Structure 1
């Protein structure tokens, strides 16, 4: 896609380095494969960075915040002002993701990419495109040019974070009504039925769900996005927060940083990034199984398996700091465990002991 000229240098994983990492993992003082997914993560990290030993001591979660014009249709259980209120609370560190990020020693990068209200804070990254998307029940969310601009914002931010020494990136979002846009994107990309794509979001009633179903059917009828053109899907029925996160995933792939997917909205952005550039999924690590409908379908589309299952569905990026801890554990295994030779363990005798216990 010529309009995304800035992502042309995305390359595959370093398979030679992954083979080297696999050889080391197989020779650590343990039965082969006994640390399961931790070994898989360490091997893929080697493929991402080109280094056998990786350190993820500096971590950040990028939270894209934006409002959605479709809130006019009454599809959300919370008032739209909550987008601005929670954005301020992110900056104060008093939200779910704020507490978990602090607990796991990672930073929050809070971005205003399209909040309806104007917020001033020394730590806010102000990249506002405009004050929310248009009402997608009546027409397209944004222009194609705005969608590309939003993608570029996320892309450039990841490059800036890499220059600042960050080694691991997470994704989060805030935007009342964004499960409606996300479900519309999912149905447009996959052709799935509405019952597989639409959940209760922040807590809709049964009556609210009926309304949401009707509105999403209207959204797709009005906009008719083409699945084969993911940028068209994004600009017609997506959101600025989603578009910014698409850029984060593409940026992570371009500058070879591992990036962690949070919940449903973050996952739909990951699916869009994958449809734009399939290689981008090699740099993604899903944090947790979201209970929001549509999430499991997205994971099937990506061919990825989440790290955790904690019954979470908060969003905000809240799954990322917990997953960061697991990914860091994978790096410690590769970096600090001894091989049989380094630990002066007789491999043949060890194998015999293991087989006797099996």
Structure 2
């Protein structure tokens, strides 16, 4: 009888959460089409405007003597691809964090993950000057784990345990502390100029080596997240119900945290602190496709990539020929959204 009841509950959950598969498919493939278009626009526009046929020529008949071809192949294409990969990584991380904690305010930038990664990278610049990109990525992974561990530890110091607002407040406080410590380290050891890039956030300095390091990590994270998607959907019913349905909740959360640390650490090591994509995109995706994470994960990846590519393009066009930090552009969208969510969730406490 218990197995029959569990089966009916599971069937009801996924029937409800998959009630918009046609629309979700449209969002997924429509988003991919818009992403390809936005990458093309990102390659076209910048300090030097480039024509469509020049892009095609640089791909099919590369001329090393052509400045335009060098800009396209060496700067614009890796920059656009990195923006897409980083946006997807941050969006997936946010979706997983919100799904595992059932906390709508959870995201890498708010839960101390990005601040922790930046903090450890500041230390790396001091103790290992001239470290390779791969080594810096490893330090970012460690920092991301440190940040999220401290936030959850501090948020749990309460008789009533973790709540939505307490977790958000703990994340905000720890993020401020780690950012201050990073600044102090940078100033004291005279590496402020080196660390300033990670504070501002952006993909203007991305090269092919960064894409080569980021792509496999993003692919592994996406595959792991997709395999966890069904279990994350069940976790939204609560831990007790999920256990009753046969889910190994601790294992699922441990694997989910590993995915978040991989994706966020890789993103921060390449682009620095880019906030709010992991907060905004999962909410938009759930509104569009429902609560089934088998749709939320891939659609969040596409929409997150699309948002960051558009934001990066906008950052070049706001005040040409100078570039506005892309983190500023995403914050203009994310801060009002965060305040709205904090007020809505705070009213439920």
- Confirm or deny a common fold (TM above 0.5): no
* TM-score between the two structures when normalised by the length of structure 1: 0.27
Which has more helix, going by share of residues? 2
Which has more strand, going by share of residues? 1
